[in-house]
Amino acid sequence: MSFSDFHGNNEVIRRLREMLSRDRFPHGVILAGPQGAGKYTLALMLARTMNCLGTRQSRGGTTGQSEEGYIGADGLPDFCGICDNCRRIGESQDLDARFAEAVEAREGLRETDKRETRLMVQTHPDVLVIPPDPPQMMIKVDQVRHVNAAIRYKPAAARKRVFVFSDAAFMKEAANALLKSLEEPPEYGVIFLLTRNPGELLPTVRSRCAGFTLDALPVDEIESYLIRARPDGTVEQRRLAARLSGGALGRALSIDLEQYVAARKDALVLLRSAVIGNDHSDLFRVTETYRGGVEGKEKTDKLLAAIYSLLRDAMALISGTPELVRNTDIAAELKSMAGAVDFNWLAQAARQVGQVQSGMRRNLLRPLSLDAFSLGLDKIG
């Protein structure tokens, strides 16, 4: 594994690696981009490059100083992927699994210890991943205080001490606490802030970091990547995954199409029932299968996401931009739906999806709020 495994955004990657080669890497880095764009993958690749023990080639400068470092085939700093540092940092790559382990470990503690235990993922002594803390899914001030203390220690087994905030949603107090480390970082300290929307970070945090954005990739680029990564899928499946990904490779790879198509089938029943609006027996048959609890919530979330994606497609058709349609495999069905509604109806429907979502947060009975969504839409059309 190396940087050649990172897909797209070549210019940003090159700039970051060049800064490493000149030993001018910033202490605070904001990596922005949509979910699944590769922000976390990139941060861990950079962390490995900073600390790779591979010795294929040394970074010798004209000054005669010989610095440790691994150089890739393209002449820029890279990582070997197999040395002890690379391997251990790489173990953090499956963030969902590491996160679940960390949460579970904390759940096993006594109540008093639980409150004091900050959620962290650490597979290497010098590289710390700080995920948002549930249930609020925000970075809390105690997590940042831990970073502020840890960054004072020199690296034990690496050259740089790296901190990765995997989703930079900070509680206000936490963001303020972070300023301390961003203002006076030790020479070996690097802090990554990953975010979908850098505008949500405090201006004082942003001004102390260098910002880089990973852009969405073109649909055909993702499709041709999927041909190599998912050779078992059909052309239709790859096209759908590429379009649903919104230009984010990670999302294209992780989309469970079977699950999506099932949710979309239900979404179509709900919308059809709302559009036609006389016989609701199909609607009730569907909504009955949506229950409460964690599992029910997941299923309902997927349904609502599918409704959104159908509404967007109908909107694209109505506004004369059919090239933006994502659910290309059900074009005929979409066309007939778009023909039966207007822009206002779609806007209202999108708002009502939002209401169902906030209703779910208040723990209303799910099937009921779904019925209300579809029945409520009748009256608009």
Contact positions vs Zn ion (CB under 5 A) = 52, 54, 79-80, 83, 86
Query: 3-state class of 184 per DSSP?
Result: coil
- To the nearest whole angstrom, how small is the minimum distance from the Cβ of residue 47 to Zn ion? 11
Q: Which of 283, 277, 237 is nearest to 259 (CA)?
A: 237
| Residue 162 or 310 with smaller CB distance to Zn ion | 162
- To the nearest whole angstrom, how small is the minimum distance from the Cβ of residue 292 to Zn ion? 48
* Residue partners of 235: CB distance under 8 A and separation at least 6: none
| Residue 45 or 263 with smaller CB distance to Zn ion | 45
The secondary structure of the chain in percent helix, strand, coil, rounded to multiples of 5, reads 55, 10, 35
- To the nearest whole angstrom, how small is the minimum distance from the Cβ of residue 50 to Zn ion? 10
- To the nearest whole angstrom, how small is the minimum distance from the Cβ of residue 125 to Zn ion? 16
- To the nearest whole angstrom, how small is the minimum distance from the Cβ of residue 52 to Zn ion? 3
| Residue 79 or 373 with smaller CB distance to Zn ion | 79
- To the nearest whole angstrom, how small is the minimum distance from the Cβ of residue 162 to Zn ion? 14
Residues 160, 47: Cα–Cα separation, whole Å: 8
Evaluate the CA torsion angle 318, 350, 257, 279 in order and state its sign. Answer: negative
| Residue 33 or 54 with smaller CB distance to Zn ion | 54
| Residue 49 or 374 with smaller CB distance to Zn ion | 49
| Residue 102 or 162 with smaller CB distance to Zn ion | 162
- To the nearest whole angstrom, how small is the minimum distance from the Cβ of residue 13 to Zn ion? 18
User: What is the four-CA torsion angle of 181, 186, 187, 192, rounded to 10 degrees?
Assistant: -30
Whether residue 269 contacts residue 310, with contact meaning beta carbons closer than 8 Å, is answered with: no
| Residue 47 or 311 with smaller CB distance to Zn ion | 47
Whether residue 313 contacts residue 334, with contact meaning beta carbons closer than 8 Å, is answered with: yes
Residue that has been written with the tokens 């609701």 in this structure:
280
Q: For 77-128, give the DSSP string.
A: B---S-SHHHHHHHTTS-HHHHHHHHHHHHHTS-HHHHHHPPP-EEEETTEE
